[in-house]
Amino acid sequence: MAQQILLGSLLILVTTAVHGFCTLLALTALRKVRHWFHWEHERLTKGTLLVSCLVLLLFLASVLESSIWAHVYVAVGAIEDLEAAVYFSTVTFTTLGYGDLTLGPDWRLLASFEAVNGTMMFGWSTSLVVAYLQRMTLHRSDS
């Protein structure tokens, strides 16, 4: 059990760092797009495009994060096949939890850590999108 707690905690640290890096990368990219195209005053279509890009970049971050978990499942022998590990990890990270593929008793606690991690990362992403929309709305009303 201690091994699962330690490994789960380490994976949460790694995926949080990945999410932080991807967040900064996404916000920097959006800022540059606004600057390059002189989108100082976003219209509805430009704003929609920017928010859609932000959502896509955060989605890709989540794919990367769940893939990290999947590779660890394979590395520790919890799941033998990478495709099955990616499927299990994605279902667990999103807390969808079909239950058609489960881990054995030696590693099942690790899956609950991944579900908690996924919940936190999706909360982070959601709050970032909401904050970005608020900023756009306030900026638009000031213009």
- 15: number of Cβ within 10 Å: 23
Domains of the chain, each with CATH number or no CATH: 2-20+44-142 (1.10.287.70)
pLDDT (mean) for 19-37? 86
Q: Give the chain's mean pLDDT.
A: 90
Taking alpha carbons only, the member of 71, 114, 84, 109 closest to residue 96 is 114
Taking alpha carbons only, the member of 109, 110, 21 closest to residue 71 is 110
Q: Is the pLDDT of residue 109 over 80?
A: yes
pLDDT (mean) for 103-119? 95
- 104: number of Cβ within 10 Å: 9
Assign 86 a pLDDT band (cuts: 50, 70, 90).
very high
End-to-end CA distance of the chain: 57
Distances (CA, A) of 34 to 25, 31, 92: 14, 5, 36
The residue among 55 and 141 whose pLDDT is bigger is 55
Assign 137 a pLDDT band (cuts: 50, 70, 90).
confident
pTM above 0.75, yes or no: yes
